Structure formats: C-alpha cells, structure tokens
Amino acid sequence: MQIVEFGAGTLRFLDHVPTRAPQGGFVWIYLEREHLEQDLPVLQRAAQALGGSPLLDLHVKDLGNRGHPSRYDYTSVYDLVIFRRLASEPEVRAELGEAAMAGKGPLAAFGRISTRALGFVVFDRLLITVHPAGCFAARAFIERYLQDALRSEGLSASARTRLPSGAADLMLRMLNLVVDSYLELRKVLSAELDGWQQALLAPRTTAEVDWAALMTARNALHMLQDLCEEQNDAMQEWLDSQREQPPPWMSQAERDGLLARARDVVEHVERVVHHVNRMEQSAETAVQIHFSAVGNRTNDIMRTLTALTAIFLPLNLIAGIFGMNFELLPLTHQAAGFWWTLAAMGVIAVLLGIVFWRKRYLARTGH
C-alpha cells in the first residue's frame, strides 16, 4: 500500500493513513488487488476518517473482481469507477508464456491482447485506487511524484502546476494514461494488419491463408470495441453526474478544468473506437478483395483452358472424319494425304491460336 498526501503545492509519502485530509489537498491510497483483502480494515478506517463513509461490501467485491467490466456507480459520498486497461508485456508474458510471446505468425499481436481491471473510489478529499500487481499506470505516477518529492522539500512553481488539483483530477490523469496505451497499440495492430493484407492480396501468392489468425484478430477487435464502449459509457455517466451535481467546495475554474480533462478522456476513447471500426472494415475489405482476386485467377485459368479446348476441337473433328470406316475417302489412298491433313490441322491450330491471342483469351493477366 502506498499513501501520498497532496497539499497546497506540495506532496508527501506517508507510512500511515493520516487522521484528516490536508487543507486544500487530498490523500491518495494505492494498493494492489492481491492485497485488498489483507488491507481492507485499514482501507475502511481511512475511508471513514478521510471520506466520511466506509466502502459498501458490494463495491469492495467489485474492486476485488479482476474480470469486472468497465462501469460507474456512486453513493451520496463517493463515486466508484471500474476501468479496464491493456495488460503490459510482462503481464501478457506471464499469462501466455514465453513460447506464445515468441510467436511470429501472422497477426500475432492480436492474440496477445489482454486487459486488467482498475478500481477507483473517489471521495472529495480521498482517492483509493486498486490495481493489478505491477500496474504501469500507478507505477508511472508514483515514480513521477516520488522524483518530485526527492528533488526538494518544496516543489518549484513549474512542478506545482503538474500536481493534481483533487482526487477526481488524479483519477482522470490515470485514465488518460490508460487510454493512451490503447492509442499506442493501434500502431502495432495497424502495421500487422497492413502486412497481412499485402500478403493476402499479393498476385500469384502460394502461401496458405491463416484463417484461424484472422478469426483471432477479428475477435480481438470485437473485444476492444466492446471494452471501449463500456469505458465510454462509464466516463459519460461520471461526466453527467459531475455536471448535474458538482462538488460544493470546488471552484468554477477547477470544475471547468476537471470537465475538460474528462471530455479529453472520452474523446480519446472515441478515437480508439473509431480506429477499431476502421481496422474491422479494412480486414473485411481485404478478405472480399482476396476472394475477388481468387475468382479472377480462376476465371483466367478457365478462359485459357476453354481457348485451348476450342483450338483442338477442329483437329478432333478432322481426325474423326478421317477415322470413318468408308472405303473411298479423299486423300486416303494418296501417298502425301497424311502430310496434307497434318499440315491443314497445324495451320488451323496456329490460326485459331493467333485469333485467340489477339482477343486476349490466352493472355496472362496480373491477377
């Protein structure tokens, strides 16, 4: 458990939960989900002392549920926000194993998409966050504030402006970092999807299409879309509650800044949703173009075979005529009859070949 006290332009790392919140500041309590049950008594005492109300048992269960979807709930004293973030590479490696992480198959990055639930309990002067072990979101902020605290006893003016103004402000900063990880992921996914499309649409490719990888990628995109929609709904509900019931102690300038930061988080989530939808459409379009190209190549093959068949049809007709069991047939009793017939068949085949070639029935295409 980490306890950080934010005052008026200052912050301190504490060993114990303070008895009251600092004047003009708030307290941030961070703990990992695996330690929630162990630290719950201390957490409830802190919520009662600093927030004015203990956490409901239902909300405690939500915070401890690692598979909980993104959602927003509230009481008359505090807000509860559950937000799912992308798992970091070490977390995915621990979950899937080194062999899965080393896979270099097509669309491999889509199969490694996994999420973790973050829990935020927002009081007026207290923020409680519950993270999975080694959460990059909490670690990034703790390291940043720890460096500021170690740099000097009092923070500089530029450092003061970077400190959160309240518990809700710090929550929104973490959520913004979480959503930015989705925006960074889109570069990797787009690069893999573009490479797969180029291989899929390459002319005369002999590689087998890995449809299992495509289905995995589509399922991952559907999962991301559902996650982003849940995140968007949770943030929209929280934003509506802040608009309808603003904290009475918050100034108008602080409230405007908080709402602007919340709208920025919502806008980032919507960008992720838009990008996921675009990748889904791109994958569907690539599959349709692939089958169209395969159909065109099949048509080319059938056209060539049909043209060759048409060339040999007159030759078969001539061979069939001279194979009739009649005693008197033209050229049958002449010494040069066979060669005349063979020459005529060759001329006919060449003429038909030239005609079909000029009509591009035998031409090779780039499909």
- Do 238 and 332 reside in the same domain of the chain? no
- Do 84 and 167 reside in the same domain of the chain? yes
- What single letter denotes the amino acid at residue 86? L
Is 367 part of a structural domain of the chain? no
- Do 203 and 343 reside in the same domain of the chain? no
- Do 284 and 309 reside in the same domain of the chain? no
- In sequence order, the 6+-apart residues with CB closer than 8 A to the CB of 195 are 106
- Which helix (H) or strand (E) is 221 found in, with range? helix 211-244
Structural domain of residue 163, as residue ranges?
2-293
- Do 191 and 336 reside in the same domain of the chain? no
pLDDT on residue 65: 92
Report pLDDT digits (tens) over 13-70.
888 988 888 888 899 999 999 999 999 999 999 999 998 999 999 999 999 998 899 9
Report pLDDT digits (tens) over 224-264.
888 888 888 998 898 888 888 777 777 788 888 888 888 88
Q: Average per-residue pLDDT in the chain?
A: 81
Is 125 part of a structural domain of the chain? yes
The strand pair at 26-32 and 126-131 is best described as parallel
Confidence of residue 71 (pLDDT cuts 50, 70, 90): very high
Instruction: State what percent of residues in the chain have pLDDT above 70.
Output: 85
More confident residue, 294 or 170: 170
- For residue 272, give Cα distances in angstroms to 83, 181, 189, 223, 309: 15, 10, 12, 12, 55
Q: How far apart are CA 312 and CA 24, in angstroms?
A: 96
What SS3 class is residue 113?
coil
User: Comparing 73-77, 104-108, 275-279, 330-334, which segment has the lowest mean pLDDT?
Assistant: 104-108
pTM: 0.72
Q: How far apart are CA 319 and CA 144, in angstroms?
A: 91
Report pLDDT digits (tens) over 193-216.
777 777 776 665 555 566 677 777
More confident residue, 211 or 113: 113
**Last residue of one domain, picked from the residues 249, 266, 293:** 293
CB 284 within 8 A of CB 196: no
CATH number at residue 240: 3.30.460.20
More confident residue, 159 or 295: 295
- Do 126 and 179 reside in the same domain of the chain? yes
- Do 12 and 68 reside in the same domain of the chain? yes
- Do 232 and 339 reside in the same domain of the chain? no
pLDDT on residue 304: 81
- Do 284 and 135 reside in the same domain of the chain? yes
Name the domain count of the chain. 2
- Do 237 and 320 reside in the same domain of the chain? no
pLDDT on residue 159: 47
- Do 19 and 124 reside in the same domain of the chain? yes
How is 40-104 classified by DSSP, letter by letter? HHHHHHHIIIIISSPPPHHHHHHHH-TTPPPEEEE-SS-EEEEEEEEPPHHHHHHHH-HHHHT--
- Do 18 and 74 reside in the same domain of the chain? yes
